[in-house]
Structure 1
Amino acid sequence: MNQTAIGVLLNGVTGRMGYRQHLLRSVLAIREQGGVELPDGTRVQLEPILAGRNAAKLKELADRHGLTAWTTDVDSALDDVRIYFDAQLTSAREPSVRKAIAAGKHVYAEKPLADTLPAALELAGLARDAGICHGVVHDKLFLPGLRKLRRLVDGGFFGRVLSVRGEFGYWVFEGDWQEAQRPSWNYRAEDGGGIVLDMFCHWNYVLENLFGAVRAVTAKATTHIPRRWDEQGEPYAATADDAAYGIFELESGAIAQINSSWSTRVFRDELVEFQVDGTEGSAVAGLRRCRVQHRSATPKPVWNPDLPATEPFREQWQEVPDNAEFDNGFKAQWEEFVRDVVAGRQHRYDFFSAARGLQLAEAGLTSSAEGRRIELKPLT
Structure 2
Amino acid sequence: MNGITGRMGYRQHLLRSILAIRDDGGVALPNGDRLQVEPVLVGRNAEKLAKIAKDHAVADWTTDLSAALADDSASVYFDAQVTSGRKDAILAAMARGKHIFTEKPIAETVADGIELVEAAEAAGVTTGVVHDKLYLPGLLKLKRLIDSGFFGRILSVRGEFGYWVFEGDIIPAQRPSWNYRAEDGGGMVLDMFCHWNYVMENLFGRVEAVTAKAVTHIPERWDEQGNKYTATADDAAYGIFELEGGIIAQINSSWAVRVDRGELVEFQVDGTHGSAVAGLFGCRIQHRVRTPKPVWNPDLPTDQDFRAQWEQVPDNTEFTNGFRAQWEQFLTDLDAGRPHPYDLAAGVRGLQLVDAGLQSSNEGRRVEIQQFGGAA
1:68 offset after TM fit, Å?
2.1
Aligned length: 371
Does the alignment pair 1:365 with 2:352?
Answer: no
Aligned counterpart, 1:172: 165
Does the alignment pair 1:291 with 2:291?
Answer: no
1:179 offset after TM fit, Å?
1.2
Among 254, 266, 269, the alignment partner of 2:262 is: 269
Letter in 1 for 2:357: G
Write the distance in 2 (CA, Å) between the matches of 1:157 and 1:375.
Answer: 30
Does the alignment pair 1:307 with 2:312?
Answer: no
Write the distance in 1 (CA, Å) between the matches of 2:113 and 2:78.
Answer: 16
Does the alignment pair 1:158 with 2:161?
Answer: no
Does the alignment pair 1:247 with 2:240?
Answer: yes
Write the distance in 2 (CA, Å) between the matches of 1:231 and 1:252.
Answer: 46
Deviations 1:116-163 (A, max 9, x none): 001001101111221111010000000000000000000001011000
1:79 offset after TM fit, Å?
2.3
Please give the secondary structure, in 2, of the residue aligned with 1:216. Answer: strand
Write the distance in 2 (CA, Å) between the matches of 1:128 and 1:177.
Answer: 50
Q: TM-score, normalised by structure 1?
A: 0.97
Does the alignment pair 1:338 with 2:335?
Answer: no
Write the distance in 2 (CA, Å) between the matches of 1:178 and 1:19.
Answer: 24
Does the alignment pair 1:355 with 2:348?
Answer: yes
Write the distance in 2 (CA, Å) between the matches of 1:261 and 1:267.
Answer: 13
User: Within 5 Å, which residues of 2 pair with 1:208-227?
Assistant: 208-227=201-220
Q: TM-score, normalised by structure 2?
A: 0.98
Write the distance in 2 (CA, Å) between the matches of 1:65 and 1:197.
Answer: 33
Write the distance in 2 (CA, Å) between the matches of 1:339 and 1:75.
Answer: 27
Please give the secondary structure, in 1, of the residue aligned with 2:191. Answer: helix
Please give the secondary structure, in 2, of the residue aligned with 1:301. Answer: coil
Write the distance in 1 (CA, Å) between the matches of 2:134 and 2:313.
Answer: 17
User: Within 5 Å, which residues of 2 pair with 1:1-380?
Assistant: 10-80=1-71, 81-379=74-372
Deviations 1:321-358 (A, max 9, x none): 12210000000000011111111111100000000011
1:236 offset after TM fit, Å?
1.1
Deviations 1:271-322 (A, max 9, x none): 0000000001000000000011011110100111111011111111111112
8 A contact 2:239–2:251 mirrored in 1:
yes
Aligned counterpart, 1:6: none
1:369 offset after TM fit, Å?
0.4
1:378 offset after TM fit, Å?
3.0
Structure 1: segments with no counterpart, 5+ residues: 1-9
In the TM superposition, structure 1's runs of 4+ consecutive aligned residues that sit over 3 Å from their partners are none
Write the distance in 1 (CA, Å) between the matches of 2:97 and 2:271.
Answer: 46
1:269 offset after TM fit, Å?
0.4
